[in-house]
Amino acid sequence: MPTFFRRHYARRLEAVGRTEQAVGAVILLALAGILTAYLLDLATHPGSPVGAWEAAPTAPGDRLPDPGLPDWIPCRQTEHFTADNLFEKINGRAEVYLQHQVAGLTFGSYCHQTQTGRTIDVYWFNMGRPQSAQAVYETERPAQPDPVPIGDAGYQSGTAVFFRKGASYVQVVPSGLDPADGQAARRIAELLADRISYQSADGPTSAANPGPRP
Amino acid sequence: MTDRPITRRECLARGAGAAVAAGLAAAGGFLLHDREGRDPATDLPSAGGLRDFFAGIDFPAGSPRIAVVVGHEQRIRQMVQAALAALDPELGLKRFVGRGDVVLIKPNVGFDRPPHLGATTHPEVLRWVIRLCREAGASRVMVTDNPIESPQACFAKSGIGPVVQAEGAELVLPASGRFRVLAPWPDPAGQQATAASIDWQRWPLLWEPLDQATRLIGLAPVKDHNLAGGSMALKNWYGFLGGRRSQLHQAIHEAISDLALLLSPTLVIADATRVMMRSGPTGGRLSDVSPGGKLGRPVLVASVDPVACDSWCYQNLLDRDPAGLPYLELAARKIQSQIRAGRRRFGQSDWRVYGSEGRIATISV
């Protein structure tokens, strides 16, 4: 019995007729249409895999830069949120940022190397343009901030540090009230501010400007 | 099977057949598919009605409706004890929790924030409520919430998870199998009682712990809320909801007042040990937080009337006019039909009514 590869054909393969080519094209088009319709259907329903891909991260990099501090390291991959799914991170507060045309949020954490649960969280908001960053920053700034020379108009509240620079608005929030956490947060904020350019909407992740700070 | 080579006619016939089959399959799929889409979160069995968690409590008519305790960060235990003792001077928490009760405590663990920022319930308040429930004879104490963010991260960073573990209570995480949708909820007159704009029969509720509990205690932080105005005892029930809760933001006052109608708790405790006065509900700045809010010292408010509790906290802690908080009046109006039918006892939108009746106890510890 001839095998699949040794099948006898009535004529040579290259002599495929126009009608056969047309039928083949119709089949391929139908399959492509089905696939397209399937993907469109998924994309129109929130929560579908395609929808999730479309809302997926646009910011570069997957880890915050190494702060060069002996006790603190970037401890998990950054999470990225767009205007469409910002509520998944700051539900109830997202509208404030949406009113100011937020483009996205990158969230990441630093962990203490020896004390489990001691973290410093970084919320980097890409507000799209400096005016929006300033507006939302002004909305949240306390009446009498404790200024720190980080970015534009940085300030410290407890152990947390807040600053804006260009289109970015950054919050560095330790989990504890230990003054050492505040010093680490400030060092991290300085590092991030150095890595955020005024012109670009790039985030402070490692891929945006790799390599440790000198 | 023969070795006969395929002919042109057969090739065309088979190709045409395949195309027709593919076309029919595509057409069938197009016609039969669910155009609205199926959301696994709402494709759930119906839960039936919710229990009245205040049912069977012989609450004396002359007892305070609201108990306010002003204390100190280092005296959380005394504050919790005093608040419950003030609400029922005779029995304290034993008035509300009896031997063999299964108690569900609902703190607010909505955000991946540390305790000192006031976005979540103070873990030490929870600790002492758990202990007092056990002392009152509870056979089980469950603690649950459904944060938008990672539940594990929220329970850990808020300090709630470690306290639950240390006190031997049960942490009920919002696993998908624990959700149900609610059965229809007509008011006693048979009319639609909840907001027409919200289809609660399609909305997933963290049902399993509610179904297992015989008593429900809300334990909510008092804080500013960008959309709702304030987040206190009533807003805390949002944490029982699954699905895409942000969709409810368009009608947030209706949603909160509906939850006030749907959930009749045993009692609520407003945790104002640290009040987030601005930038809520997430906050982030220590400067956003004030102990006891306007009062400047840590406060706990225990109440059998969640609506009045919120009204009191909104005015006396957040320093805002309760008349400007729409969900209070909406909730009171919705609960009225149940009160008239004798199925509910309390739902007062203006705390001053209790004040004028001498039903507010204030203690300093």
Q: Is A77 on the interface with B (CB under 8 A)?
A: no
Neighbour tally for A79: CB within 10 Å: 17
Q: Is A178 on the interface with B (CB under 8 A)?
A: no
Q: Are B126 and B142 in contact (CB under 8 A)?
A: no
Alpha carbons B225 and B283: distance in angstroms, whole number: 9
Do residues A187 and A118 both lie within one domain?
yes
Do residues A50 and A60 both lie within one domain?
no
Contacts of A96 in chain B (CB under 8 A): 226
CB spacing of A157 vs B16 below 8 angstroms = no
Do residues A43 and A103 both lie within one domain?
no
Show pLDDT as tens, one digit a residue, over chain B (365 residues). Answer: 445 677 888 888 888 887 888 788 778 777 776 555 544 444 555 555 688 999 999 999 899 999 999 999 999 999 999 999 999 999 999 999 999 999 999 999 999 999 999 999 999 999 999 999 999 999 999 999 999 889 999 999 999 999 999 999 999 999 989 998 876 655 545 555 666 667 777 788 999 999 999 999 999 999 999 999 999 999 999 999 998 888 888 889 999 998 998 899 999 999 999 999 999 999 999 999 999 999 999 999 999 999 999 999 999 999 999 999 999 999 999 898 888 888 889 999 999 999 999 999 999 99
Tell me which chain B residue has its CA closest to the CA of residue A118.
B157
Type of residue numbered B66: I
CA atoms within 13 Å, Cβ hemisphere of B48: 5
Do residues A16 and A94 both lie within one domain?
no
Contacts of A90 in chain B (CB under 8 A): 111, 282
- Domain assignment present for A2: no
- Domain assignment present for A158: yes
CB spacing of A37 vs B26 below 8 angstroms = yes
Alpha carbons B338 and B332: distance in angstroms, whole number: 10
Q: Are B96 and B266 in contact (CB under 8 A)?
A: yes
CB spacing of A157 vs B12 below 8 angstroms = no
Q: Band of the pLDDT at A207, cuts 50, 70, 90?
A: very low
Question: Distance of alpha carbon A194 from its chain centroid, rounded?
Answer: 19
What do you get for the CA distance between the two ends of chain A, in Å?
Answer: 74
Alpha carbons B211 and A139: distance in angstroms, whole number: 42
* pLDDT exceeds 90 at position A32: no
pLDDT at B173: 97
Chains A, B: CB contacts under 8 A, how many?
A: 119
Total structural domains within chain A: 2
Closest CA to A187 of A77, A69, A73, A65: A69
Do residues A200 and A122 both lie within one domain?
yes
pLDDT at B244: 84
**What is the domain-level CATH number for residue A175?**
3.40.1000
Alpha carbons B140 and B180: distance in angstroms, whole number: 22
Asked whether the bond before B281 is cis by omega within 30 degrees of 0, the reply is yes
Alpha carbons B125 and B77: distance in angstroms, whole number: 7
Question: Distance of alpha carbon A33 from its chain centroid, rounded?
Answer: 32
Q: Across the interface, which of B3, B245, B284 has its CB nearest the CB of A8?
A: B3
> What is the CA angle B174-B178-B184, rounded to 5?
115
Alpha carbons B190 and A114: distance in angstroms, whole number: 61
Please classify residue B285 by burial: count the beta carbons closer than 10 Å to its beta carbon, then call 0-12 exposed, 13-18 middle and 19+ buried: buried
User: Helix or strand or coil: residue B53?
Assistant: coil
Residue of B109, B111, B112, B223 to mutate for A, most A C-beta atoms under 10 A:
B112
Cβ contacts of A156 within 8 Å, gap of 6 or more:
A145, A146, A147, A148, A162, A182, A185, A186
> Residue A78: which domain range?
56-208
> Using alpha carbons only, how large is chain B's radius of gyration in Å?
25
> How close is the nearest chain B Cα to the Cα of A197, in Å?
25
Question: What are the residues facing A155 on neighbouring strands?
Answer: A147, A162
Q: Across the interface, which of A10, A33, A142 has its CB nearest the CB of B6?
A: A10
CA dihedral A80, A84, A89, A94 (to 10 degrees): 130
Alpha carbons B168 and B155: distance in angstroms, whole number: 15
Helices (DSSP H) in A45-77: which residue ranges?
Answer: 49-54
Alpha carbons B122 and B114: distance in angstroms, whole number: 10
Question: Distance of alpha carbon B128 from its chain centroid, rounded?
Answer: 20
User: Helix or strand or coil: residue B5?
Assistant: coil
Do residues A85 and A144 both lie within one domain?
yes
- Domain assignment present for A95: yes
CA atoms within 13 Å, Cβ hemisphere of A156: 19
C-alpha dist (Å) from residue B38 to A45, B25, B33, B35, B210:
9, 21, 10, 9, 25
- Domain assignment present for A3: no
Do residues A127 and A140 both lie within one domain?
yes
- Domain assignment present for A122: yes
Strands A104-112 and A72-74 turn out to be antiparallel
C-alpha dist (Å) from residue B266 to A156, B50, B59, B102, B162:
42, 13, 11, 12, 25
Do residues A60 and A155 both lie within one domain?
yes
Do residues A170 and A153 both lie within one domain?
yes
- Domain assignment present for A5: no
Question: What are the residues facing A110 on neighbouring strands?
Answer: A74, A120
Type of residue numbered B60: P
Do residues A62 and A42 both lie within one domain?
no
Do residues A142 and A195 both lie within one domain?
yes
CB spacing of B19 vs A94 below 8 angstroms = no
Strands A146-148 and A119-126 turn out to be unpaired
Q: Band of the pLDDT at A51, cuts 50, 70, 90?
A: very low
Neighbour tally for A213: CB within 10 Å: 14
Do residues A70 and A119 both lie within one domain?
yes
Alpha carbons A79 and B310: distance in angstroms, whole number: 35
> How close is the nearest chain A Cα to the Cα of B34, in Å?
10
Cβ contacts of B242 within 8 Å, gap of 6 or more:
B41, B146, B174, B179, B203, B204, B205, B206
